[in-house]
Amino acid sequence: MSDRLAQTLSAFSNTVLDIQRLAQSQSIEHFHNRMIERLSELIAFDKAWWGLAALINGVPVERSTQLFKLPAQYLLDWQSISHDDVTIDSVHSRPGHAVVIDMSTTTGLTWLGAKHHIGQLMCIIVSDPITRLSEHLTLYRSPDSASFSPQDVLLLETLMPHLSAAAASNRIRTLISIRETLSNPQNLALAVCDRNGTLHCAEPAFIALLLQGWPQWSGPTLPIAIETGEFIIDRIHLSVSHAGDLFLIAGRHQSPLETLSPREHEVAQSFGEGKTYKEVARDLGLAPNTVRHHIRSIYSKLGVKDKARIAQLLRKDPG
């Protein structure tokens, strides 16, 4: 084995190991930038674009985007000339194979390259046959840089499956780390999705929860609109929060006690403590008949028939 080949293999191996470590140590918000920074030590480039896309009418529609040393405007600029980007057909016709494209190839690419000081790109995608989503990585070099070499192409093709696996591992680790911070994690099912509601990863219990609420759902897009906050839909409680360009979702079945109105909850608390109708009425300033009406409603909503069962539910869910 030549010294040069040995050095290349050693550099490749170290890169893979470091990226695997990053997947386990970095938050989902920072992982991709750290990964691309580490990749730049193996393959020289000036800028990069990592994304997850769905192919719609032959055009990739971005679901998640990480730009490296590129302005946010770049995505809009690319979208305006995407019809003139020969990269799309080239990479989608041969997933897993890297293509090198000169920015002077078409009028649209020439304009994009001039605006963002790009002379050449190297792009590769890997596709999920089930979701039909594709992860893509595009590396860019400035006009005054050397062209991407056959070795660069080979390195990227060999490395891309590891990058994709590391990204998936990082998403799963995010779910695990969130679970460890929760006070009552056993009742929660967790998932990660993008701004369009496309699932990137989900625990089996989360899928089961969706199917109970939406039996006809088949994915990968969630059956609800995604926005941050707390929601209760068809007795399913969802908590949605930002994680960089993605969203974290914690789902659980709605507690029976959550179906009670604030006043009903007060009556249930007092009644569950063993008080009589009259004592509950006196303590809450209500008429006894009003308390009886509330308790009938509480029995119906909770599916119980006596105050002992109400007390039991309150002990399980004191909040």
Q: Tell me if domain 3-172 and domain 256-316 are identical in fold.
A: no
For domain 3-172, which architecture applies? Answer: 2-Layer Sandwich (3.30)
Extents of the domains making up the chain:
3-172, 182-253, 256-316
Cis peptide before 71 (omega within 30 of 0): no
How many CB atoms are located within 10 Å of the residue 227 CB? 10
pLDDT digits (tens, 9 = 90+) for 126-185: 987 655 678 899 999 999 999 999 999 999 999 999 998 898 888 777 777 766 666 555
Question: What is the per-residue DSSP string for the chain?
Answer: --HHHHHHHHHHHHHHHHHHHHHHHS-TTTHHHHHHHHHTTTS--SEEEEEEEEEETTEEEEEEEEEESS-THHHHHHHHHGGG-THHHHHHHSTT--EEEETTSSHHHHHHHHHHT--EEEEEEEE-TTT-EEEEEEEEE-TTSPPPPHHHHHHHHHHHHHHHHHHHHHHHHHHHHHHHH-SSGGG-EEEEE-TT-BEEEE-HHHHHHHHHH-TT--SSB-SS---SEEEEETTEEEEEEEETTEEEEEEEEPPGGGGS-HHHHHHHHHHHTT--HHHHHHHHT--HHHHHHHHHHHHHHHT-SSHHHHHHHHHH---
pLDDT digits (tens, 9 = 90+) for 18-64: 999 999 888 888 899 999 999 999 999 999 999 888 766 666 777 77
236 DSSP β-pair partners? 233, 253
Average pLDDT over residues 287-311: 74
pLDDT at 319: 46
Is the model's pTM score more than 0.95? no
What's the fold here for domain 256-316? Arc Repressor Mutant, subunit A (1.10.10)
Distance of CA 4 to the CA centre of its chain: 40
Give the chain's mean pLDDT: 83
